[in-house]
Amino acid sequence: MAKTETETKKDKFGPEYVVEVYDARIGMRGFLVIDNTVLGPGKGGIRMTPDVTAEEVFRLARTMTWKNALADIPFGGAKAGIIMPPEVLRDKKLKKKFVQSFAKAISAFTPKKYIAGPDVNSGEEEMKWFVESTGNWRTATGKPANYCMAIFGGKGEKCGIPHEFGSTGFGVVESTEVAAELAGIPIKNATVAIHGFGNVGTFAYQFLTEKGAKIVALADKSGAIFSKNGFEKRLIGKAITGKKSLASVFPKLKISEKDFWKTKADILIPASVTDVINESNKNSIRVKIIVEAGNIPMSEKIENELFKKGILIVPDFVANTGGVISSYAEYRGYNPKRMFDLVSRKIRKVTNAILEKSIKEKRNPREIGMEMAIRKVAGRMKKREVVDK
């Protein structure tokens, strides 16, 4: 079954397609939103949660439109979501059935209109399942590094570049360093609080630590921890490699979620879920810089309020672009080193351009970034209109 969703708001940019799919055999229900493809095929990950909605997927797809435009890569904006109850997420065989059912249901759109990628609860293994189901290497990025395939009869093979390499977290740190420099805060010894300790948060922690920053507060699903002197590297490594909760590894350092948001630090990195900064905690925040590692960590209204309080904010569609730049690198057949170089170059360039203008004009960086992205997408749409006449 496939039907068009009519509730999503429409404007001159899109969405081009809003599709709901349902597989009655196993109860799989999912959404695909292809927002705008004027710059190239829609690119965006597949979110797999119990409560993902078409509206949430649309918001994320629109963000991808602007993100890809600012990253200056030939991808449009899109996103997908599969409603996965907890019991499906826990059962690998059933999860695979859901992913492959969804892949087959939307295969008419891949890869010309949509290219999949990892997101919440989806990683390299899920992308391999997706590609196996569609039978086309180009239908997804973020595949395992040892999953290789000959493409179009060319010499050699192209291999996956999984997000597990840390491209998004790496990009967040590159963006953070640029913001810190412009704010006059040396990244070495800068104090940082990170909310969310999954793929993005853990790599942000590691790359920031390598640059000499001091992480004083962390939070994951189990709760939050705080230490003004930072955390013992060996124990953090144990939490990451052993996939253990922060609270179980650092029981004596545990603080409440409420106290986490009161942490006094130079930099706050929300790397968890949508709207994690909200009416209940916005007035507790005491930092100089916020780098939005997660997608839509707060509403635009709250973001503007915090900006007016003097907090320098790096928007999500700038800070967390590392993943989609990595996806483009994989799509082109680059190796990991070339991918990381590309991420660094592109993210530093756009972060610097947006924040410099923000500081000079005393305007919200999101507003400036949006203007740049819209100008690019609208310009290409005008050119297409001329060609079509």
Which residue numbers are catalytic? 79
CA angle, residues 300, 260, 250, in degrees to nearest 5: 140
Which residues share a beta bridge with 83? Answer: 29, 49
Burial of 190 (0-12, 13-18, 19+ CB in 10 A): buried
Contacts of 328 (CB under 8 A, 6+ apart): 43, 71, 73, 74, 75, 141, 342
d(CA 211, CA 209): 5
d(CA 85, CA 52): 10
Q: Tell me if 225 sits within 8 A of 217, measured CB to CB.
A: yes
CA atoms within 13 A on the CB side of 135: 3
Contacts of 231 (CB under 8 A, 6+ apart): 215, 218, 225, 250, 253
Task: Tell me the H-state helices in the chain.
Answer: 54-71, 86-90, 92-105, 124-134, 167-182, 199-210, 233-241, 246-249, 257-260, 300-308, 316-319, 322-332, 336-361, 365-388
- For residue 109, CA distances in Å to 16, 18, 84, 113, 215 come to 12, 11, 22, 5, 43
d(CA 166, CA 201): 10
Contacts of 365 (CB under 8 A, 6+ apart): 307, 312, 313, 314, 315, 318, 354, 355, 358
Which residues share a beta bridge with 77? Answer: 36, 43
Q: Tell me if 132 sits within 8 A of 141, measured CB to CB.
A: no
Cα 74 to chain centroid distance, Å, stands at 18
